[in-house]
Chain A
Amino acid sequence: MDGSGPVVAFWLLAAVTLVAAGGVLVSRNLLHAVLFLILAFIGVAGHFVLLSAEFLAMAQVIIYVGAISVLLLFAILLTPRAGRDNGETKAFPVGALLAVALAAVFLFVINDTNWKTVSESPALAPEALGEALLTSWVLPFEIASVLLTAALVGSIMLARTAEEEAEDALA
């Protein structure tokens, strides 16, 4: 890609992502925080498009913007007695100070580094990703599937009510 288009797009997307991420932190209402989070996810998806990783961008939109955000909204709306406020904490100023200091260190280091750059974009088509997942990366891929199964089994157990357990014990 050449020209100034991608550069402008990068800074725009970066601004949207950062502002939205900041909004998650400062918004008073948890629902607003989730909406900001969705915006931040979309910004990240835009960055994937800029990197010619269209498939990742699609996955980001479908999984994060679609599934995970909806799940968050459901969790907030279906928790009846909980407050919907974004909790305040006395440690906020200290945390903010630490975050700024950390960001300064990161910016300095990132600026100071000779990053590896590639001249052509790597194969990021769905076929290539699928092949990589089932050849070189088959082991982490399978570990992830076991992990999801275990998490599912465990969360079902933790969420069961006492009556359901009593029924199960009789069976």
Chain B
Amino acid sequence: MNGIDTVGPQLSVLGAAGLILVVDALMPQHRRMLPFIALFGLIVSALWTVSWVGRDFAPADITTFDGTFSLDQYSAFFYFVFVGITATVVLASIDWVNREGRGQGEYYALVMTVCSGLMFLSASRDLITIFLSLELSSIPQYILAGWGKDKRSSEAGIKYLLVGAVASSLLLYGMALLYGATGTTLLDGIGAYVASPEAEANRGLLVLAMVLLMAGFGFKMAVVPFQMWVPDVYQGAPTPVAAFLSVGSKGAAFAVVVRVFIVALGADLLSDDWSMIFAILAAVSMTLGNVMAVSQTDIKRMLGYSSIAQAGNFLIGLAAVSGGDERFTLGASGVLLFVAAYAFTNLGAFVAVIAISQRIGSDQIKDYAGMWRRSPVLALGLAFCLVSLTGIPPTVGFWAKLYIFNAGIRADLGWLVIIGVLNSVVSAYYYLGVARQLFTGGDESTERVPTSPSISLSLGAATLGVLVFSIIPMPLMSAARDAAEVLTK
């Protein structure tokens, strides 16, 4: 397998981004075609990844570009998630971009660039590549958060940029210390050093580097105590962009954290420490995120806080390091399953919010009252996604929670699972509170809320994904498991 083939999925996404810019500049009368070029690039990317499925990756194939990049089931799993997310976001953006009228070509090109960054991030096996991919996915997102013409959006963009810069510098410091201790930037090399006896003398340095990495990635994962930017940015950023960064950047951050901590820092010397820290962060994130979400009146802020709480759920999987051969497999596959399930559910909820707020011009939860009579499809779709986010059986959100709680119990983290279950009850209060609003009250207005085809298609795609994996979750679970097993091979 040569170099070009291994980065084909990213190249097709970036190629589409370039084509979009060219078409936008040279043929402005064909601007309506731009989102379809983006979708075409994403489809090519997905097909390219499909062409690898079922292939037995030989060791020589797994790492390419001198070990900086890897092609395995793990990256392929995330390629599908990110391509799906981006396609849904592109569809959900069409109305907003046409109305806002600001640089349509540039908008789609930047969204595609973010997508390629997320894909590179999930496949990097080297600190330098990880850092640059993270910036490739982050910097266009700072710009997109400030894309709206109102003051709020500019504020969101600046805030996100400043917080992101601090996070990047912490991350870079941690990486530099790790390189200083081990003399290599390749994750496998670092892993070999950490497992060797000589690492014990430098344990202090390794722990310090590890904590800095956690802090740097923590901002991207949006877990407490690195969460303060989330509500303001989600509220201020254009809603399609908020949807994108609530699932895309969070998912990619978990993809890279799982890989870095298992492959590079997975030896016994450090794994007890980070598993403990992640368990505490999980408990705090879940509790704080849920408690803050309860009192929100703006649905975008509520989804922001709830995404912090959901990140706490993901962290249970990272904390779940058990003994024996399957040390990481169960917890890591739980994170993967949860990322995929959360991505489509949260995206579905956001798309419904986009459609509703475009028509009623408000993000206040109280204005959602009686939406059932004004637009049954939107109300049903939103309610279904909220039920799945709560984790009520038999939705995909329930399967993911069950799986990750099971991983927690197997790793003797019973206390954490109890906190998780209690938090699910709290989250039911506000998720289902919104769902109840949709179906009751609101006698003042009976005006219909129509939806455009693109929004319907994107809401349909997201909820169909949630529905299919709710009914038959097994394929998703086994895909997550196969992907996670690659890391410990």
> A residues near B, CB below 8 A?
105-106, 108-110, 112-116, 135-140, 143-144, 146-147, 150-151, 153-155, 157-158, 160, 165, 168-169, 171
Contacts and interface: CB of A to CB of B under 8 A. Distances in A.
A136 B183 CA distance: 16
A140 B106 CA distance: 23
Given A150-B140, A151-B139, A143 B146 contact: no
B129 A143 contact: yes
B162 to A, nearest CB: 13
Given A146-B113, A150-B110, A139 B136 contact: no
Nearest to B184: A116
7 contacts: A114-B201, A136-B65, A139-B68, A143-B129, A147-B139, A150-B109, A154-B139
Contacts of A136: 65-66, 68
Interface in B118-136: 120, 126, 128-129, 132-133, 135-136
B202 A157 contact: no
B181 A113 contact: yes
A33 to B, nearest CB: 17
Contact of A143 (B103, B136, B157, B204): B136
B136 A112 contact: no
A140 B101 contact: no
Contacts of B110: 150, 153-154
Nearest to B66: A136
A165 B182 CA distance: 51
B132 A140 contact: yes
B211 to A, nearest CB: 10
Q: Which 4 A-B pairs have the closest CB atoms?
A: A154-B143, A136-B66, A150-B113, A113-B205
Given A109-B208, A113-B181, A154-B140, A139 B21 contact: no
Contacts of B65: 136, 138-139
A143 B120 contact: yes
B143 A146 contact: no
A146 to B, nearest CB: 6
B116 interface: yes
Contact of A115 (B103, B157, B180): B180
Contact of B143 (A110, A112, A158, A171): A158
Interface residues of B, number: 41
A147 B28 contact: no
B106 to A, nearest CB: 5
Contacts of A106: 208
A165 B103 CA distance: 8
Contacts of A116: 180-183
Contacts of B143: 151, 154-155, 157-158
B217 interface: no
A114 B140 contact: no
Given A154-B106, A157-B103, A140 B129 contact: yes
Given A143-B129, A150-B139, A157 B68 contact: no
Nearest to A153: B106
A80 B197 CA distance: 60
Contact of B132 (A110, A147, A165): A147
Contact of A140 (B68, B139, B144): B68
Contacts of A153: 21, 106, 109-110
A110 B180 CA distance: 10
Nearest to B31: A169
B480 interface: no
B205 A169 contact: no
Contacts of B343: none
Nearest to A155: B143
Contacts of B140: 150-151, 154
A146 B14 contact: yes
A157 to B, nearest CB: 4
Contacts of A138: 65
Given A113-B181, A116-B181, A137 B109 contact: no
A109 B173 CA distance: 14
Given A153-B110, A158-B143, A144 B204 contact: no
